[in-house]
Structure 1
């Protein structure tokens, strides 16, 4: 009986496994150290450690960093690019911008494919799709044979204006298949049929260089799971917040470039909705980095252009996540000006923080939390024992002595700098857009998010914090909450007021036909297929466009124009209702519904948390404070606290600081209010009595 749903999220330090037992209505989690040299090893170790019977698994979903790491390290297979004569250097010229405009010595990193591996073929199609010059097949075949002689593994075919007519790219792919049958080929018309050549070419190049790497990883993992009893499809989370089967991943591997970080944002949206927060900030703090997402009016923000490295855009719909180098393993150091810094460098999984006793010689956030007693000495349910003496030694040698501080103040300063970095990042995604953080809740998760969440919220005047039941594996949970999803687009330019609604409808029907074919290929039943339309528009004379939702009724186009005015005002603080609006592009999300966990609320108790497992001195606000420590798995829903208190569990530790209150809700989330008034009208006497008894 297939009654288990399994999600695995590979992080920089730990690999998280989340198992939902549908028949028992129970979630269990586990963590294993990541294996950066071979990520699949950690996935299989996690399955073994969790004692998962793969024959009982109905769905196996996976968020992976394989594509991201490959783009960062540039460990690519032998790659080449074939393009129209005269357009060899499009991906090197780029758009002429720089990440740091004022640094004359800083330059954008080079293209993913070197100039000597980029080849030109005579052909030309105009903007309307008319053939001006036919593809020179003799030259195309000569180039293909040259690539074979060079031993090329993967090829990106990028012809100018192929978005309007793909016939030349299709023929080039056929010639390459004849001459290099073992090589993978990506064509820009299939990967991204859009007008701007730099965005289209670079996205296609990224897809090509990732192809053999991702395909090999997915095939090997799929085979291993099947060999051990799994009979379903391996689903991989992609950047747009949906999932793809392993077969589709082989065609569009670049969509995995933000796989892992999307999972956390989806889970944050789920928790916010569960707790009744339409506006929330997701704070996913892991071992290496912190990913910050924004939920406004119940919706995750999305972007259509993003990058792993500046200057190399990947133009696919993606959940908008801001990542900064602030994690449990982030290194504290003193810069050349004598100031204390935190990150972005990280101790990673190996050697890890000094307290792991694996050779780490620099202080990290984990070392500081351990010395301040916010973090206990047992990690991952006793799998790892942390050494406070080692943490103290590196903090004293590297930070306290050089700055003339005692070790307690130095450790506290390390944490404060990390919190300030995260607070600044939250300001970037909220205040910069005219949004007030005080109107939001903070969803704190990841292995270290619950340690820092309340302090970050206090710095931003965010009134409440929510910590999910299993914060350390919440990103893995996000993999269980998504559907199979394809994002399709088609160029369609013209004035909105004179556009023929029937022609627009016909184009959407074509996109829906392609979407349905893809879903059927992934074995999605027609009744489980859902299509969501979108349309990009802009004011006449504008360059950038804005995407809004599009309905299906006869008046949908007029309604979309009105919605465009409203969204433009929200995004840019002005609207021009009298200015003509142009249609730029049509979009379609093709969704294949997948089984999801059905969570059930628990009856809320009387507010008593029971006896703590210990009371230990914890450093808060410049002094050591006796603090009760509870085992979170033993706490009933309704349990209430007046801070300070610490809640331990297998995958994380939650800190409830002084001058705050908290309660365990019916979903077993911890809801923290940054006030001494108990959260959500929990009786003050119950919370106060339980804390006093513990002390």
Structure 2
């Protein structure tokens, strides 16, 4: 019987595997070392976990393959075919800079060099009318040139194609005829929206990662099938859903940022189970921290994101802020003599000073070891920590230069790191119109539970939730998602003159495309949910806000009223007398995937004894602190800080003044103030 659900999250150091049994609802985890070819690590982890793939009903995977390809630029040769006269759109960009005040810092070069950006005569006007059909002979010559050059993928980006993709489709057919095995991405299919740079850039990113991602998903699917897996491989995308390899062929760039979305999904789900529909996810690993926000049970979604500045990827994505703060982040002194923390990192090797691999600079891990918050080993004894080396690094790197005691210096290192993470939380909450005091903080990742309460106190967040397996929570997120596709279409009209029937007709066309795609992926009609929204703005603005739209549409006045409310929440002001414009229609198409429920535990009344005690420093004072083994903590067990909870994939710190309790799902709920 196929009763197992398996999720895999591949990281730079470890590959995390999460296995849920549908019969018992119990979850177990496995960690194995990542390999040069991620597929070898995945299959090795499956074997190590003793998984019989013939018993697996669902195999879900969050992958960094697309992201890594864009970051490292180890990309196949790709070409762009565009309208004559618009060869340099993706290089001109918006002429903006990541750092406004640094005139010497240039934006990185485009993914496709100029020599591989070719043009053809064709023209569509601003209303979508074809005023110059595609020059077929010129198109065939371009196809001949690209075939001779041996390109691995092609992006077709014509002006105004978002309104009428007729010429793009004709160009695609000619390219496929000449090069049947080369993937072709056309902007009218990938992103039918106004703003040519964003549309061109997204289409180029989609084309350029397509050969890499398709090869990866095909090989992984074949390896799984050879070992007995009989279902579709499901791949997590940035929008918070999963897609099959069939959809990956057309929308490969949706997998860029796949891994970080999984953590956001898991933190949102765990918080909701605990009764907190408003939550902030704090995913702290060895090098970076990812911060996400969910409001009323829904993750914030953005289209303003990129892997490299200047080259946007405008697919809907769960909003996640990433900063360089992790266990391996280095403490250093800037030219002004101030203590800093990150984004430089000791990485997996040589790692923190306490690893004993020759790094002399102090890291957050070294500070935690010096303060007694971390013990002498990680990952169940696989990584041994040397407290003497940690203390020496803190003393030489911070204590002596600043004239501090070693524990005072270690505390300062962590306070700077916590301040950096708190600033990231402020950016995703306060700057978006949300009050952190109305949220719970879900602390996970290998180091999140070490810092969670300190960050919560900085922001007056009342509750911190630590999942049962913090280090593999991102992998768990892959088990908690549905099939999902996001569609959009430009709709630039004033609300005062908008025709509800015309907008309804546009939505109907998008919905039919969504239904066709989900049906092709094997989703039954009764499991399909369609969610509409309309991007709106005050006339003259260029930034828009999404407003939920009913089905059928209903009165335009109701949409405008909802927009005013949303604008008030987001920006703290509204202009009820100002005219409102529609900008874009959005559709989220969800195919519900059956999910096994989390196991529910009953209180045992047992109060486990600590496995050890050690002095741990808080605010300059040493406390004799009990150390508990996480696997010994039963449902209903409550305790006051200070306390340390250790497990194979994380360490949780409950500082003085906080109270913790283990809930029925075995989450640790920490009340920041007793």
Q: TM-score, normalization: structure 2? A: 0.96
Q: Do the aligned partners of 2:615 and 2:623 also contact (CA within 8 Å) in 1? A: yes
Give the alignment's Cα RMSD to 1 decimal: 1.8
Give the corresponding residue for 1:659: 657
Q: Do the aligned partners of 1:125 and 1:133 also contact (CA within 8 Å) in 2? A: yes
Q: Do the aligned partners of 2:153 and 2:183 also contact (CA within 8 Å) in 1? A: yes
Q: Do the aligned partners of 1:14 and 1:349 also contact (CA within 8 Å) in 2? A: no
Looking at structure 2, the residues matched to 558 and 516 of structure 1 have their Cα atoms a distance apart, in angstroms, of 29
Count of residues paired in the alignment: 674
In structure 2, relative to structure 1, the CA distance for the partners of 1:356 and 1:42 (3 Å cut) is farther
Give the corresponding residue for 1:633: 631
Looking at structure 2, the residues matched to 273 and 553 of structure 1 have their Cα atoms a distance apart, in angstroms, of 29
1:199 aligns with 2:198: yes
* Equivalent runs, 1:485-500 vs 2, <5 Å: 485-500=484-499
1:9 aligns with 2:9: yes
More deviation, 549-558/58-67: 549-558
Q: Do the aligned partners of 1:512 and 1:531 also contact (CA within 8 Å) in 2? A: yes
Q: Give 1:383 shift.
A: 3.0
Looking at structure 1, the residues matched to 434 and 582 of structure 2 have their Cα atoms a distance apart, in angstroms, of 28
Looking at structure 1, the residues matched to 34 and 272 of structure 2 have their Cα atoms a distance apart, in angstroms, of 31
Give the corresponding residue for 1:685: none
The counterpart of 1:619, out of the listed 613, 617, 628, is: 617
In structure 2, relative to structure 1, the CA distance for the partners of 1:246 and 1:443 (3 Å cut) is same
Give the corresponding residue for 2:537: 538
* Equivalent runs, 1:98-247 vs 2, <5 Å: 98-247=97-246
Render the CA deviation track for 1:316-375: whole Å, top value 9, x for unaligned: 111111110111222223333333222112233344333334554543222222232211
Render the CA deviation track for 1:628-678: whole Å, top value 9, x for unaligned: 011111111111111110111121111001121111112211111122x3x
Q: Do the aligned partners of 1:430 and 1:437 also contact (CA within 8 Å) in 2? A: yes
Indicate the SS of the match to 1:370: helix
Q: Do the aligned partners of 1:186 and 1:208 also contact (CA within 8 Å) in 2? A: yes
Following superposition, which runs of at least 4 residues in structure 1 exceed 6 angstroms of deviation? none
Render the CA deviation track for 1:407-443: whole Å, top value 9, x for unaligned: 3333322222211110111111122234332222211
In structure 2, relative to structure 1, the CA distance for the partners of 1:189 and 1:333 (3 Å cut) is same
Give the corresponding residue for 2:375: 376
Q: Do the aligned partners of 1:13 and 1:287 also contact (CA within 8 Å) in 2? A: no
Q: Give 1:401 shift.
A: 4.0
Give the corresponding residue for 1:522: 521
Indicate the SS of the match to 1:448: helix
* Equivalent runs, 1:252-651 vs 2, <5 Å: 252-358=251-357, 360-553=359-552, 555=554, 557-606=556-605, 608-651=606-649
Give the corresponding residue for 1:673: 671
Q: TM-score, normalization: structure 1? A: 0.93
Indicate the SS of the match to 2:104: coil
Render the CA deviation track for 1:574-594: whole Å, top value 9, x for unaligned: 222233322222111111111
Looking at structure 1, the residues matched to 421 and 134 of structure 2 have their Cα atoms a distance apart, in angstroms, of 53
Looking at structure 1, the residues matched to 397 and 224 of structure 2 have their Cα atoms a distance apart, in angstroms, of 46
Give the corresponding residue for 1:26: 26
Q: Do the aligned partners of 2:327 and 2:364 also contact (CA within 8 Å) in 1? A: yes
Give the corresponding residue for 1:683: none
Q: Do the aligned partners of 2:504 and 2:552 also contact (CA within 8 Å) in 1? A: no
Render the CA deviation track for 1:134-176: whole Å, top value 9, x for unaligned: 2112111112211122221111111001111111111111111
Structure 2, unmatched stretches of 5+, are none
In structure 2, relative to structure 1, the CA distance for the partners of 1:539 and 1:477 (3 Å cut) is same
Q: Do the aligned partners of 2:492 and 2:583 also contact (CA within 8 Å) in 1? A: yes
